[in-house]
Structure 1
Amino acid sequence: MVNHPPYSLVLTYTEDPQQLIMQAVDSARLAPLVGGIMEVPFFLDGDEFKFDDELARQLGVAVLNVIAAGRPGIKQCLALTQHPIDRSSDE
């Protein structure tokens, strides 16, 4: 396993070609650039949260909604369930 400093993830949507680009950036280097910029908190439930499929889904929905807020043309492409999806009693 590679030892690296804590990093943040920058996600960018490009139109030509249409793609999402992820960049891992050293958090300390990024901090001065993001000071005072819009923050979108994503709260984790309680002290014993788990990074599970539903949390990943909700995070993905939140990220795509933020991207669409800055690029209104993307809203027509979103076919997302905005609320948590109920789990069946079999799980």
Structure 2
Amino acid sequence: MVPVRKVIGREQLEGRILGRFASGARFASLEIGMSRSEVEKLLGAPDSVEIHSTGTAWVPYYFGADAWSIASNYKGEGRLIFNADSLLILIDASGSAR
């Protein structure tokens, strides 16, 4: 089973960390609530990026930050999920994300 930790990051943003960081992993320097540009300055550009809409994207006149998300994939490290405000909300270092 993959360990999941709920954490409170910058600006009191709630997020999750899945899995454990490997020794010397670059993901260990990340913090929930970091902007996408801050993350890319630390890690460089991701290997691939995916944009996903959530169920709330279809609610009329809903403009919340959880209407869609961006997944940045880093080979050998895992994936990072950012909300619509481009703030880091999930760090997935589980084996299935690498």
TM-score (norm 2): 0.26
Which one has a bigger Cα radius of gyration? Answer: 1
Q: Which of the pair is proportionally richer in helix?
A: 1
Which structure has more relative contact order (CA 8 Å, sep 6+)? It is: 2
Q: Which of the pair is proportionally richer in strand?
A: 2
TM-score (norm 1): 0.27
